[in-house]
A and B are shown apart, each in its own frame.
Chain A
Amino acid sequence: MDAGIADMPLCINCNEPLIAGNNFCRHCGFAQVTQNAWETTDKWNAVRQLILFFLIDAVICCVASFIPFFKTLSWSIVVDILLAAVSVIFFVLNWLKLRSLLVWNNFSFARLGGYCAIAVVSSIVVGIFIDWLNHSLFSKHFSYYAFYQPHKYGAELAIFFIAVMPALFEELGYRGFLLGKLLLITEKKQAIFISAFLFAIMHTSFLSLCWLIPFALWQANIRVRQNTIWYGVCTHFCFNFTVVATEIWRDGNHH
C-alpha cells in the first residue's frame, strides 16, 4: 500500500498524492500544469513580440500619415523602407518557425489565376465604391498616383511603392510573422480575425475599414489554407496594381 502511494505523482501545490491521469488535485483543486508552463511562457513571449511589432508599425504609420513634414517623396521612401525592414527583422527573428511559409507548396496556376482574378475584380469594385463615397461625403477625388505623378518616373514609382512593396512586405509582416505568431497563441479563426483587424486599422482610415477588413480576412484565409505567403503576395499585388493602373490610365487621359 505504502509502495503504491510512493509511486503516485504528487500535487505541485500541496504535495498530496494524485490519482494517475488527473489534471487537478483532489485535495486542493490546483491544476497540474507544470509540463505546460513553458507553453504559457512561450505564448506570452509571442504576445510581447506582437505588441512590439504593432507599436513600431503604428508609430511609423501614424507619423507618416499625420505629420505634414513627412509627406514628401523622400520621406515616403524612407517610411516604406523602414516598414519593410521591420517586417523582415521580425520574420527573420522567428525564421525557424516561419521559414516554411516561404516555400510554395502544391503550386497551381489555376488556383493562382483564380485568386488573382478575384483580386482584380474586387479591386475595381472597391475603387468605384470608394470613389463614389469620396464624392458623396467630401466632394473630392482621391488618387494615390497623384502623390507620385509630378516626379520623374512617377508611374514606375507609384507601381513600385503602392503595388510591389506592400504586396511583399505587408504579406511578410502581417500574414507571415503576425498571423504565424497568432496561430501559436490562439485558435485559427481568432488568429485570422486579429491579423485582419490589425492590418486594417494600421492603414489609419475609417472609411477604408469597410473593405480592408474583408480583404485582409480573405488574404489571411488564403495564407492559412495554402500554408504559404506567395498566393497572398500575388493577390495583394494584383489588387494594388489594379488601383494604381486605373489611376494612371484615368489621370493620363485627363491630362
Chain B
Amino acid sequence: MYVIANDPIVKNTLLLTNLVLGAIYVGLGFWCTRKPMAAIVSGLSLYVLTFILNAITNPLTIVSGIIFKIIIIGLFIAGIKSAIEAEKLKKELNAE
C-alpha cells in the first residue's frame, strides 16, 4: 500500500500507522513473558481489528495471505489456551 500510494499524506499516514503497530507488537512481545494473557489477548484483538479495517477499505485483503492469517490467529488462540493453563498451574502451585 505504501509503495503504490501517490499522495504523500497517505504515504506518511500509512508509514506512521505501520510503525506504531510494529512498535506495539514488539512491546507486547517483550511483555508476553511477564503477563502472557494480557499481551496475547491485546495482540490478537489488535490483529483482528486491523484485519477488519483492511477488509473494509480493500476487501481483497481478506484472501491475500489467508494461510498466514489463519496460522497467526491459530497461534494466538493456542497462546491464550496455554496462558490459561499456565495461570491455573501457577494458582495450584501458589507460584508468583
Contact = CB atoms under 8 A, between A and B. Distances in A.
Interface of A: 23, 31, 33, 36, 39-40, 43-44, 47, 54-55, 58-59, 62-63, 66-67, 185-187, 189-190, 193-194, 197-198, 201-202, 204, 206
Interface residues of B, number: 26
B85 A201 contact: no
Main secondary structure of the interface of A (DSSP, over half): helix
Closest 8 CB pairs of A and B: A190-B38, A186-B37, A197-B42, A193-B38, A62-B52, A194-B41, A66-B56, A190-B37
Contact of B87 (A23, A186, A198): A186
B35 A201 contact: no
A36 B41 contact: no
B88 A58 contact: no
A145 to B, nearest CB: 25
Contact of A40 (B16, B46, B88): B88
Contacts of A63: 56
A204 B89 contact: no
Interface string B53-90: 10011000000000000000000000011011101110
B57 A47 contact: no
A33 B92 contact: yes
27 contacts: A23-B92, A23-B93, A36-B88, A36-B92, A39-B88, A40-B85, A47-B80, A47-B84, A54-B45, A54-B48, A55-B48, A58-B45, A58-B48, A58-B52, A59-B52, A62-B49, A66-B57, A67-B56, A185-B37, A186-B38, A190-B35, A190-B37, A198-B41, A198-B42, A198-B45, A206-B17, A206-B20
Contacts of A197: 38, 42, 45
B54 to A, nearest CB: 10
B53 A201 contact: no
